[in-house]
Amino acid sequence: MSSLQLSGKGGNMRIGKSGADRREHRRHDLETQGISVERVDAAQRVREKLGQLVDISAGGVRIRTSDEKFQTDNQVRVRLELPVYAGISPFVDTQADQPEPKREWTGWMTIRRVHSVGENRFEVAGQLVDMEEMDRGMLSLYLSTQPLAA
């Protein structure tokens, strides 16, 4: 099967003869909102700023950071807190008797790509690996109101 390779702001994307994007989830550009992503150390109950959110999908995130220690296939525990938008909360709290909307999610991200974008600046792309399906579905709904990434 032949494919066409396109270059854009977000890196490379391959499109086959069918014209289908090989990504499972569409990326949405939230860089202008200045949303921080935090690293969570559960053992020490410490959170620290990891970087700024560049774009997000229901399956992963891309962040910009000055931390050079990231390597592909490593995992890092992260916390995302997104603002409510158009009356939609990005996540769901299922711990209570009735599901409740919530703005934050903490879980594991597997590093898939690290790319230098300047002196002491890196873009780190990672897959959100332990998100519950209800949270992933709500995040998809939430993101459907946001601009798509290039």
Q: What percent of the chain has pLDDT over 90?
A: 55
Structure confidence at residue 137 as a pLDDT band (50, 70, 90): very high
The dihedrals phi and psi of 83, each to the nearest 5 degrees, come to -70, 150
Look at residues 11, 145, 9, 10 and name the one whose alpha carbon lies nearest to residue 82.
145
Q: What percent of the chain has pLDDT over 70?
A: 81
- pTM of this structure: 0.76
pLDDT in tens, 106-125: 999 999 999 999 899 999 99
Tell me which of 138 and 13 has the higher pLDDT: 138
CA–CA dist 13, 32 (Å, integer): 23
CA–CA dist 86, 24 (Å, integer): 25
Determine how many CB atoms are found less than 10 A away from the CB of residue 56: 27
Structure confidence at residue 11 as a pLDDT band (50, 70, 90): very low
pLDDT in tens, 39-82: 998 776 788 999 999 999 989 999 999 988 899 999 999 999 99
Domains and CATH numbers, the chain: 25-143 (2.40.10.220)
